[in-house]
Chains A and B, each alone.
Chain A
Amino acid sequence: MSKLTIPVRKFDAVIVGAGGSGLRAAIQLSEAGLKTAVLSKVFPTRSHTVAAQGGVSASLGNSEEDHWHWHMYDTVKGSDWLGDQDAIEYMCRMAPEVVVELEHFGMPFDRTDEGKIYQRPFGGHMSNFGEKPVRRACAAADRTGHAMLHALYQRNVRANTQFFVEWMALDLIRDDSGQVLGVIALEMETGDVVAFHAKATVFATGGAGRIFYSSTNAFINTGDGLGMAARAGIALEDMEFWQFHPTGVAGAGVLITEGVRGEGGILRNSANERFMERYAPNAKDLASRDVVSRAMVTEINEGRGCGPNKDFVLLDITHLDPATIMKRLPGIREISIQFAGIDPIKAPIPVVPTCHYQMGGVPTNYKGQVVSQDATPIPGFYAAGEVACASVHGANRLGTNSLLDLLVFGKSSGDSVIDDLRSGAIGLKELPADYAERTLSRLNRLNTQTGGASVNETRLELQRTMQKHCGVFRFKDMLVEGVAKILDVEKAVLRTEIKDKSQVWNTARVEALELDNLIEVAKATMISAEARKESRGAHVRDDAPDTAANPNGRDDVNWHKHTLWHRESNRLDYKPVIMKPLSVESIALKTRSY
């Protein structure tokens, strides 16, 4: 092939993604005066952080006593002990600082009578090491993500951050030594392909919830960072762990925040029974999300679902004061009216567990540096937010810890870039001769493909396969079959065809390129899930049931370890869970109950 060249732009740092973590990282870099480019597929305030509702956790103790150490304990327990305890301690200790900082940036939090940040109870948030519920979720009504994303964007406007809006990053650039040198990106408006050559590359590309058919996630959540990392030879960690949020609107998939239960909402089955009392006698409706989702599916499977097809349960807030609903939950009232045709003041909302969040991702340490298997940082590469696996969420994320993750690791990844640039650990190395080849041949293939597969149908096949074979409950045979099916889907992905050949705002091309990323995530997920022969957190399988030797089906002897999936030949490796926190004592393995 003759040598193809594309325009090159040089920066100190390039941040890919302008949701919460990307914007938080950008604040660090812009305010430090670094020449930074922030690339985003959508205008920053359209990023999916905007859809977060219930709150961001921090042990501010504004309404009752709280402590970061209790928050840490809840997070470790919530993770079913798969989270790394150094990163979890770091996140929970930093929480008050980053949340207060956000308030200083202008975030319009709700307020207590004393004028402090309003906090509400949330699933799995307890005081005194698991004793009783505590108000830890800092909220702006039920629009916390929207208020946060706008406040972060606004702070970046103040800092004069340079955005490249509606640019899609296509591939990571690495040299022979493995150092990351930037990304190749597509300007959607013009179809131009440009190299962003940088000393530091920060991935803040968000999750890939769109691998499932039924998802709370936006259309844009296609795992672009994961696809790029996998194609560049970086392993993906713990991809079998996906959170199914208990309360997606039945049929529509749109999220109804856990904050609804935090404010007193109750889940009921067809007998009008508050069934969570049987599954989690202590925390009840505010147990961890994996626990609640499984309870709901069990109720439905055992015939106690509601509606003509008995395929959902009800989220009831009709007993709450309408004034509370109007003040604290105005957004979910709008959503219920819009997407369920129900005013929750008058009638309960039909809900089902819906894919919501990816616990796994690109392996990082708590400083936001991407690490290889032996924990050494990959020079020039950083990641934060849902694309990253620090790992603070382990096998199951606690509600409100995702918004906290964005702030803490967005900031720490930015700080690490600054430190590594100042110490001279990273610099602008020369681009390898063939750096653009893979991307350009991918684009060329797409432009010239004939007689290929439909992007839309192939994506649907992928989503249905994931939904059927890798859902809330997993089955050995279905997983084995699922691996074969996903590898079949991959064959279609490699020969997708688009009819639209225009250079200008070609959304068909963008969707085909997104599918290239979705398939990497789907393979990583299915193959990692098939291999993990235990039940832990959100990964529960029929051949690993609750026994005396392995309570809840968790097998710490053989499976207390992180999965690493390598794209090359779908190889799996494992690495130990970090049990040693930074300053406190390790939180020892224990059976998990709520």
Chain B
Amino acid sequence: MATSTMQFKIYRYDPDKDAAPYMQDISVEVDFAIDRKLLDVLTKLKAKDDTLSYRRSCREGICGSDAMNINGKNGLACLTEIKDLKQPVVLRPLPGLPVIRDLIVDMTQFFKQYHSIKPYLINEGPRPDRERLQSPEDREELNGLYECILCACCSTSCPSFWWNPDKFVGPAGLLNAYRFIADTRDQATNERLDDLEDPYRLFRCHSIMNCVDVCPKGLNPTRAIGKIKEMMVRRAI
């Protein structure tokens, strides 16, 4: 059996009893044959200490609940291979958002920005009896966009979002904005571009590309942002 003791340093804070946050050193027996992912080990830790708090649900990288900062990089606990992690494994809540407790952050600001881009199809035309047609090529434009799971790994790794979370839409929101701009069924392209043509909402992106580096779904918000900028330039001339 490939069992070994692993060292963890975990950010702890319970506002009900702690005056200030602290880093807790914990060691845990890990059986690499069973405990494959970081979430498996967190489950094990929680079985011993039920006060350890984090979000989780699907455990397969599709619900976006268990995003956290793992050894300095944002990622999903359920997709992070445990044996690849350098020790001590340092776990912190996602940076840049208020911490509620332990690894749980307040995501209000993140969702506010997502909601601000009108994340729904706008087509005020008469509803046809059947589906609106879309060619396979046009549909392909949505690949790499619609798969976003709103885990916030990207936005909370972005310095521009840290400084201006109330004004800069952030990579997740902008990726989703482009998802609707790129959809041939959507009729609000101009309004969407108008809304983003703003020194903060879009143009705080300085192509640092942390978002691309951390996206657990392999999506590329920087590319989507570039496409939006390109469309703004094109409609200006």
A456 part of interface (Cβ distance < 8 Å): yes
Verify B100–A505 contact, CB threshold 8 A.
Answer: yes
Expressed in whole angstroms, the Cα–Cα distance for A106 and B127 within the complex equals: 12
Verify A106–B183 contact, CB threshold 8 A.
Answer: yes
Report the contact-size class of chain B (Cβ under 8 Å from the partner).
35 or more
Verify A51–B63 contact, CB threshold 8 A.
Answer: yes
Verify A115–B133 contact, CB threshold 8 A.
Answer: yes
Residue of A nearest to B184 (CB): A115
B170 part of interface (Cβ distance < 8 Å): no
When the two chains form the complex, which single residue of A50, A116, A504 contacts B14, counting CB atoms closer than 8 Å? A504
A50 and B58 contact, Cβ closer than 8 Å, known pairs A106-B121, A158-B120: yes
A45 and B64 contact, Cβ closer than 8 Å, known pairs A50-B58, A218-B58, A218-B59: yes
Most chain-B CB neighbours within 10 Å: which of A48, A103, A109, A113?
A103
Verify B120–A502 contact, CB threshold 8 A.
Answer: no
When the two chains form the complex, which single residue of A117, A154, A335, A499 contacts B120, counting CB atoms closer than 8 Å? A154
In A49-77, the 8 Å CB interface with B consists of 50-51, 60
Interface flags for B97-125 (1: CB within 8 Å of A; 0: not) read: 00011101001000100010011110100
When the two chains form the complex, which single residue of A103, A218, A456 contacts B47, counting CB atoms closer than 8 Å? A456
B53 part of interface (Cβ distance < 8 Å): yes
Verify B57–A338 contact, CB threshold 8 A.
Answer: no
In B58-100, the 8 Å CB interface with A consists of 58-65, 79, 100
Residue of A nearest to B107 (CB): A43
Q: With a CB–CB cut-off of 8 A, which chain B residues contact A117?
A: 131
A524 part of interface (Cβ distance < 8 Å): no
B6 part of interface (Cβ distance < 8 Å): no
Expressed in whole angstroms, the Cα–Cα distance for A419 and B163 within the complex equals: 50
In A137-183, the 8 Å CB interface with B consists of 140, 143, 146-147, 150-151, 154-155, 157-158
Residue of A nearest to B137 (CB): A111
When the two chains form the complex, which single residue of A105, A108, A154 contacts B139, counting CB atoms closer than 8 Å? A108
Most chain-B CB neighbours within 10 Å: which of A116, A335, A505, A506?
A505
Distance to closest chain B CB from A207 (angstroms): 13
B185 part of interface (Cβ distance < 8 Å): yes
Number of A residues near B (Cβ < 8 Å) is: 60
Q: With a CB–CB cut-off of 8 A, which chain A residues contact B55?
A: 42
Distance to closest chain B CB from A514 (angstroms): 12
In A81-121, the 8 Å CB interface with B consists of 100, 103-106, 108-117
A339 and B121 contact, Cβ closer than 8 Å, known pairs A108-B139, A146-B149, A500-B50: no
A267 part of interface (Cβ distance < 8 Å): no
A103 and B132 contact, Cβ closer than 8 Å, known pairs A154-B121, A157-B119: yes
When the two chains form the complex, which single residue of B16, B65, B130, B142 contacts A42, counting CB atoms closer than 8 Å? B65
Residue of B nearest to A341 (CB): B36
A542 part of interface (Cβ distance < 8 Å): no
Q: With a CB–CB cut-off of 8 A, which chain A residues contact B100?
A: 189, 504-505
Distance to closest chain B CB from A586 (angstroms): 30
Q: With a CB–CB cut-off of 8 A, which chain B residues contact A105?
A: 120-121
When the two chains form the complex, which single residue of A140, A218, A339, A505 contacts B53, counting CB atoms closer than 8 Å? A505
Residue of B nearest to A506 (CB): B53
Expressed in whole angstroms, the Cα–Cα distance for A4 and B74 within the complex equals: 44
Verify B135–A111 contact, CB threshold 8 A.
Answer: yes
A508 part of interface (Cβ distance < 8 Å): yes
When the two chains form the complex, which single residue of A106, A143, A220, A454 contacts B147, counting CB atoms closer than 8 Å? A143
B17 part of interface (Cβ distance < 8 Å): yes
Interface flags for A246-284 (1: CB within 8 Å of B; 0: not) read: 000000101100000000000000000000000000000
Q: With a CB–CB cut-off of 8 A, which chain A residues contact B57?
A: 42, 46, 48, 218-220
Verify B63–A455 contact, CB threshold 8 A.
Answer: no
Residue of A nearest to B147 (CB): A143
Verify A499–B51 contact, CB threshold 8 A.
Answer: yes
B56 part of interface (Cβ distance < 8 Å): yes
Distance to closest chain B CB from A333 (angstroms): 12
Expressed in whole angstroms, the Cα–Cα distance for A175 and B201 within the complex equals: 51
Verify A43–B132 contact, CB threshold 8 A.
Answer: no
Q: With a CB–CB cut-off of 8 A, which chain B residues contact A140?
A: 146
Interface flags for A181-196 (1: CB within 8 Å of B; 0: not) read: 0000000010000000
Expressed in whole angstroms, the Cα–Cα distance for A146 and B180 within the complex equals: 16
Interface flags for A489-508 (1: CB within 8 Å of B; 0: not) read: 00000000011101111111
B27 part of interface (Cβ distance < 8 Å): no
Q: With a CB–CB cut-off of 8 A, which chain A residues contact B63?
A: 42, 45-48, 50-51, 218
B3 part of interface (Cβ distance < 8 Å): no
B24 part of interface (Cβ distance < 8 Å): no
Verify B142–A108 contact, CB threshold 8 A.
Answer: yes
Q: With a CB–CB cut-off of 8 A, which chain B residues contact A151?
A: 121
Q: With a CB–CB cut-off of 8 A, which chain A residues contact B199?
A: none
Q: With a CB–CB cut-off of 8 A, which chain B residues contact A110?
A: 136, 139
Q: With a CB–CB cut-off of 8 A, which chain A residues contact B65?
A: 42-43, 46
Distance to closest chain B CB from A107 (angstroms): 9
A111 and B53 contact, Cβ closer than 8 Å, known pairs A104-B127, A146-B62, A505-B104: no
Distance to closest chain B CB from A165 (angstroms): 9
Q: With a CB–CB cut-off of 8 A, which chain A residues contact B49?
A: 499
A502 and B133 contact, Cβ closer than 8 Å, known pairs A45-B149, A339-B60, A508-B51: no
Q: With a CB–CB cut-off of 8 A, which chain A residues contact B46?
A: 456, 507
Residue of A nearest to B139 (CB): A111
Verify B59–A219 contact, CB threshold 8 A.
Answer: yes
When the two chains form the complex, which single residue of A45, A47, A113 contacts B136, counting CB atoms closer than 8 Å? A113
In A494-533, the 8 Å CB interface with B consists of 498-500, 502-508, 511
B232 part of interface (Cβ distance < 8 Å): no
Residue of B nearest to A113 (CB): B136
Distance to closest chain A CB from B163 (angstroms): 25
12 contacts between A and B (CB under 8 A): A106-B185, A112-B136, A117-B131, A147-B146, A151-B121, A155-B120, A158-B120, A218-B63, A338-B60, A455-B50, A504-B16, A508-B50
A-binding residues in B (CB < 8 A): 14-17, 36, 46-47, 49-51, 53-65, 79, 100-102, 104, 107, 111, 115, 118-121, 123, 127, 129-136, 138-139, 142, 146-147, 149-150, 180, 183, 185-186
4 extra A-B contacts, CB within 8 A, seeds A51-B60, A111-B136, A154-B119: A42-B63, A46-B64, A499-B50, A507-B53
